[in-house]
């Protein structure tokens, strides 16, 4: 079974917040992590390999620094890692990103199953996984919380829905995005850490992927960010006082006035 | 890339570093440089006191409607019930359609869905496209995306909206990828730029810490998924008339590669925190799984759903479907009551846009109080039972 896992390097949320006095963005350093949902995708890939054999390939698209995320992936025991990085990729929206990743995945060789996280915590779009599937013309299941069965041709999974779950059967090759419930990621191994230090990571650009400049990056994107601003939250915060009974009565009155209960 | 630092004007002051939400700027040798993480949002351009950062080569938004006209909403159903977010989409869609001076249409897929679909006219739709077929009873990505893509190609709406639900976020990205057009996820604000006739789509990013306004200048339709509970529901008008257009399902262009074998509904309304108006959430402060009973009781008393912090989910006290936050669900109810939850940033990003937030925590310094509209510093084991008791007394 050849498995491809897509991981994205994202800023740790805590490093992006708002200075309450000046209402501006503060970044305490720029600590980057592997997108948390992608850790579950990575773990699931490793578990499938342990059961069914094959290889786990990890791919990421991003600036040269994203190499760190791929090294971390190596420390968990994946077989190969590839970085898609090129100035021409900059400014890609989800349409261009999924197109580019699809080209990159095809270049890594044959695949049976592609695993992505449910969504990236910086953009929160959950659009790249289905976008890749569409570009590669393979079936897709979102929000997988459990793989029930897997053989060389089919996959049976549980998809988390808002009101419960669906059980689906999908033919391979296919792509799934996973949620946290699916597993508990492992710790890196010592051997993996050693290999992570020395591994040579191939970096592919537009030319390597046989893409034209107009298919990726800003030119290949349909959407454009025209404004970024901080959300306005009304500052009214109130700590209630008095005995518990008094506080509760006060609270119920206030909630009543606001018509929320 | 379209962004440049003017070497002559840049003083290396570094103000731009903090303004960049993507961490793409660094200053070396008194000169700012911008790397690939740049999204061309322009925050640094505004922040720079020296006009040293320039964005050029950004595509000029031009009207490219090319015969594309009308606002569409996708009216999803599950178990033959139209989702509540659909009424919110109709409310918002009506406003957009009026601003553009075009029709508002709803698209419904399902089995025996006609009578509920017709109701949507009374909620403001001018036209309803119905595809009624047993195959469409359960949601299937492949079938839904193929039919919707075909309908869009045939009728060419300029705007297509869908709820940011499990169904919407699962198949709408396939439709937009197929149409090679833009899609903005999980929008919380929509408007029309009348001059350019384009849809202004505002959405949170970085867990709601920043907001971005996004347009889709050159491609049509302009597509967006819309978050629950943010837009106002459409009003019901029993006398409203509209046109019903039935479309038949003529099979797929290819073999089906995925099928739904089973649909399981779990514990009914208690789980579905994305649709709830009121959520009562419990955290590690509950100490033991059996104490979730308190949370359930308060939720039941108020008519709300039960949420949880990751700590209580990881401890196995409650299923993952209830988890609120960065690795769980993002919710936006009218009232969110956090009990025994410290308010770690990963939890806050999933609930901080709720209308009213109540925090009950024994520790007066808990960060949850920073986002709480009303805070009660106290022991939840005393506060919650009192809350339930008083509420029942007052409301009968
Ligand atoms: C990558 C990543 C993703 C994450 N994603 C999420 C996520 O999606 N959702 C999420 O919630 N967390 C998430 N977390 C975890 C998050 O950082 C916190 O660890 C978690 O939210 C803490 O849960 P808690 O508030 O229930 O527990 P604690 O932090 O232990 O807080 C318990 C609170 O209960 C109070 N308390 C104790 N006893 C009482 C009492 N008798 N009465 C009243 N108050 C009492 C305490 O004062 C304390 O404030 C994530 C973390 C990481 C690293
Ligand atoms: N730049 C990227 N490189 C690799 N994988 C990505 C990238 N962007 C998104 N993905 C994958 O797509 C998933 C969904 O991301 P998003 O659509 O951005 O929310 C992530 O969890 C990743 O698995």
Q: What is the pLDDT along chain B (396 residues), one digit of tens a residue?
A: 478 888 888 999 988 888 887 788 989 888 998 887 787 778 888 888 888 998 765 444 444 467 899 999 999 998 889 999 999 999 999 999 999 999 999 999 999 999 999 999 999 999 999 999 999 999 999 999 999 999 999 999 999 999 999 999 999 999 999 999 999 999 999 999 988 889 999 999 877 778 899 999 999 999 999 998 889 999 999 999 999 999 999 888 788 999 999 999 886 556 689 889 999 999 999 999 999 999 999 999 999 999 999 999 999 999 999 999 999 999 999 999 999 999 998 999 899 989 999 999 999 999 999 999 999 999 999 999 999 999 999 887
What pLDDT, on the 0 to 100 scale, is given for residue A25? 53
What tens digit of pLDDT does each residue of A124-180 get? 899 999 999 999 999 999 999 999 999 999 999 999 998 899 999 999 999 999 999
Same CATH topology for B64-249 and B273-395: the answer is yes
> Is B39 in Cβ contact with A225 (below 8 Å)?
yes
Residue A247 corresponds to which tokens in the numbers above?
């506080």
C-beta of A92 in contact with ligand 2 (< 6 A): no
- Whether residue A111 contacts residue A2, with contact meaning beta carbons closer than 8 Å, is answered with yes
Residue B23 corresponds to which tokens in the numbers above?
């961490």
A123 CA from centroid of ligand 2 (Å):
9
What pLDDT, on the 0 to 100 scale, is given for residue B252? 83
Residues 136-155 of A with CB under 8 A from B: 138-143, 145
Q: Give the C-alpha separation, B333 to B373, whole Å.
A: 14
- Which residues in chain A are contacts of B204 at CB distance < 8 A? 124, 231
Q: Give the C-alpha separation, B3 to B18, whole Å.
A: 17
B342 CA from centroid of ligand 1 (Å):
5
ipTM: 0.92
Residue A23 has pLDDT above 60, yes or no: no
Residue A15 has pLDDT above 70, yes or no: no
How deeply is A106 buried, as exposed, middle or buried, from its count of CB atoms within 10 A (0-12, 13-18, 19+)? middle
Beta carbons within 8 Å of B312's beta carbon, 6+ residues apart: B282, B283, B284, B286, B292, B318
DSSP labels for A9-70? EEE-GGGSEEETTTTEEE-STT-EEE-HHHHHHHHHHHHHHHHH--EEEEEEESSGGGHHHH
Which residue's CA is minimally distant from atom 7 of ligand 2? A8
* Residue A134 contacts B where some CB pair is shorter than 8 Å: yes
Domains of chain A: 2-215 (3.40.50.620)
| Interface A:B, Cβ pairs < 8 A | 310
* Residue A232 contacts B where some CB pair is shorter than 8 Å: no
What tens digit of pLDDT does each residue of A34-50 get? 999 999 999 999 999 99
The domain made up of B273-395 has a fold known as Rossmann fold (3.40.50)
Query: How close B241 gets to chain A, by Cα (Å)?
Result: 32
Torsion angle (degrees, nearest 10) of CA B314, B320, B323, B329: 140
Residues 47-76 of A with CB under 8 A from B: 62-64
Q: With bands split at pLDDT 50, 70 and 90, how would you rate the model's confidence at A29?
A: low
Query: How close B374 gets to chain A, by Cα (Å)?
Result: 5
Cα first-last separation, chain B: 65
C-beta of A114 in contact with ligand 2 (< 6 A): no
What pLDDT, on the 0 to 100 scale, is given for residue A201? 98
- Indicate which of B158, B206, B259 best probes the interface with A, i.e. most A CBs within 10 Å of its own CB: B206
* Atom in ligand 1 nearest the alpha carbon of residue B326: 8
A102 CA from centroid of ligand 2 (Å):
12
- The better pLDDT of the pair A228, B93 is held by B93
Which residue's CA is minimally distant from atom 23 of ligand 2? A116
Query: How close B170 gets to chain A, by Cα (Å)?
Result: 6
Residues with CB under 6 A from ligand 1: A 36; B 283-285, 309-312, 323-328, 340-342, 344, 346-347, 350, 360-363, 366, 379-381
Residue A26 has pLDDT above 60, yes or no: no
B85 CA from centroid of ligand 2 (Å):
26
What pLDDT, on the 0 to 100 scale, is given for residue B269? 53
Maximal C-alpha separation, chain B: 73
C-alpha distances out from residue B348 to A15, B166, B306, Å: 14, 21, 16
Mean pLDDT score across all residues of chain A:
92
- Domain B64-249, CATH: 3.40.50.620
How deeply is A196 buried, as exposed, middle or buried, from its count of CB atoms within 10 A (0-12, 13-18, 19+)? buried
- Whether residue A6 contacts residue A114, with contact meaning beta carbons closer than 8 Å, is answered with yes
Shortest-distance ligand to the CA of residue B362: 1
What pLDDT, on the 0 to 100 scale, is given for residue B267? 64
Shortest-distance ligand to the CA of residue A99: 2
pTM (predicted TM-score): 0.90
Ligand 1 pocket check: which of B361, B364, B383, B384 to mutate, most ligand atoms within 8 Å of Cβ?
A: B361
- Residues in chain A, how many? 261
Q: Give the C-alpha separation, B179 to B54, whole Å.
A: 32
C-beta of A120 in contact with ligand 2 (< 6 A): yes
Ligand 2 pocket check: which of A129, A132, A136, A185 to mutate, most ligand atoms within 8 Å of Cβ?
A: A129
Residue ranges per domain, chain B? 2-56, 64-249, 273-395
B160 CA from centroid of ligand 2 (Å):
24
Architecture of domain B2-56: 2-Layer Sandwich (3.30)
What pLDDT, on the 0 to 100 scale, is given for residue A114? 98
Share of chain A above pLDDT 90, in %: 82
**Shortest CA distance to B86 belongs to which of B98, B71, B76?**
B76
Kindly tell me the number of DSSP H helices and DSSP E strands found in chain B: 11, 22
Identity of the residue in B142, B214, B353 whose CB atom sits nearest the CB atom of A139: B142
Identity of the residue in A95, A139, A252 whose CB atom sits nearest the CB atom of B390: A252
> Is B378 in Cβ contact with A244 (below 8 Å)?
yes
* Atom in ligand 1 nearest the alpha carbon of residue B325: 8
C-beta of A63 in contact with ligand 2 (< 6 A): no
What pLDDT, on the 0 to 100 scale, is given for residue B22? 79
């Amino acid at each position: 079974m050849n498995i491809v896992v897509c991981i994205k390097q994202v800023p740790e949320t805590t490093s992006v917040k708002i200075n309450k006095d000046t209402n501006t963005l503060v970044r305490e350093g720029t600590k980057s992590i592997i997108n948390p949902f992608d850790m579950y995708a990575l773990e699931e890939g490793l578990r499938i390999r342990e059961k069914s054999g094959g290889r786990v390939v990890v791919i990421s698209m991003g600036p040269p620094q994203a190499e760190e995320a791929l090294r971390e992936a190596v420390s968990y025991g994946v077989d190969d890692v590839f970085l898609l990085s090129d100035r021409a990729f900059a400014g890609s929206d989800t349409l261009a990103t999924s197109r580019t990743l699809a080209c990159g995945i095809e270049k890594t060789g044959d695949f049976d199953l592609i695993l992505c996280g449910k969504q990236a915590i910086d953009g929160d779009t959950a659009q790249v996984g289905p976008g890749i599937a569409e570009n590669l013309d393979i079936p897709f299941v979102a929000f997988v919380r459990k793989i029930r069965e897997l053989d060389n041709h089919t996959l049976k999974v549980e998809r988390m829905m808002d009101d419960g779950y669906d059980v689906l059967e999908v033919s391979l090759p296919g792509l799934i995005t996973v949620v946290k419930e699916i597993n508990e990621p492992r710790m890196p191994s010592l051997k993996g850490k050693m290999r992570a230090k020395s591994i040579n990571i191939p970096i592919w650009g537009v030319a390597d992927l046989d893409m034209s400049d107009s298919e990726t990056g800003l030119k290949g994107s349909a959407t454009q960010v025209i404004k970024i601003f901080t959300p306005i939250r009304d500052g009214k915060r109130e700590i209630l006082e008095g005995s518990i009974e008094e506080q509760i009565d006060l609270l119920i009155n206030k909630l009543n006035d606001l018509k929320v209960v | 890339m379209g962004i440049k630092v003017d070497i002559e004007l840049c003083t290396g002051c570094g103000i731009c570093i903090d303004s960049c939400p993507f961490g793409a700027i660094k200053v070396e040798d008194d000169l700012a440089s911008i790397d690939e993480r740049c999204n061309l949002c322009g925050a640094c351009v505004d922040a720079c006191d020296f006009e040293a950062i320039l964005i050029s080569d950004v595509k000029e938004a031009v009207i490219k409607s090319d015969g594309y006209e009308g606002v569409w909403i996708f009216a999803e159903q599950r178990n033959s019930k139209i989702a509540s977010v659909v009424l919110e989409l109709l409310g918002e869609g009506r406003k957009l359609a009026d601003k553009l001076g075009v029709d508002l249409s709803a698209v419904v897929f399902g089995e025996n869905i006609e009578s509920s679909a017709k109701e949507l006219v009374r909620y403001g739709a001018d036209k309803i496209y119905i595809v009624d077929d047993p195959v469409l009873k359960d949601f299937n990505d492949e079938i839904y995306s193929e039919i919707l893509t075909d309908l869009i190609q045939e009728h060419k709406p300029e705007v297509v909206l869908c709820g940011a639900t499990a169904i919407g976020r699962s198949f709408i990205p396939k439709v937009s990828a197929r149409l090679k057009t833009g899609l903005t996820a999980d929008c919380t604000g929509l408007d029309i730029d009348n001059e350019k006739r384009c849809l202004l789509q505002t959405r949170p990013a970085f867990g709601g810490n920043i907001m971005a306004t996004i347009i889709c200048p050159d491609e049509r339709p302009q597509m967006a998924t819309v978050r629950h509970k943010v837009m106002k529901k459409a009003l019901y008008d029993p006398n409203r008339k509209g046109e019903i257009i039935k479309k038949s399902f003529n099979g797929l262009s290819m073999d089906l590669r995925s099928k739904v074998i089973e649909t399981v509904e779990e514990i009914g309304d208690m789980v579905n925190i994305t649709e709830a108006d009121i959520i009562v959430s419990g955290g590690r402060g509950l100490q033991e799984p059996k104490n979730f009973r308190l949370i359930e009781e308060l939720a039941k008393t108020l008519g709300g759903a039960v949420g949880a912090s990751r700590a209580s989910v990881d401890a196995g006290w409650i299923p993952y479907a209830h988890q609120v936050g960065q690795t769980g669900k993002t919710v936006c109810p009218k009232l969110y009551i956090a009990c025994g939850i410290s308010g770690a940033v990963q939890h806050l990003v999933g609930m901080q846009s709720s209308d009213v937030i109540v925090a009950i925590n024994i520790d007066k310094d808990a960060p949850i109080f920073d986002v709480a509209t009303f805070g009660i510093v106290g022991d939840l084991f005393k506060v919650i039972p009192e809350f339930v008791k008083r509420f029942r007394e007052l409301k009968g």
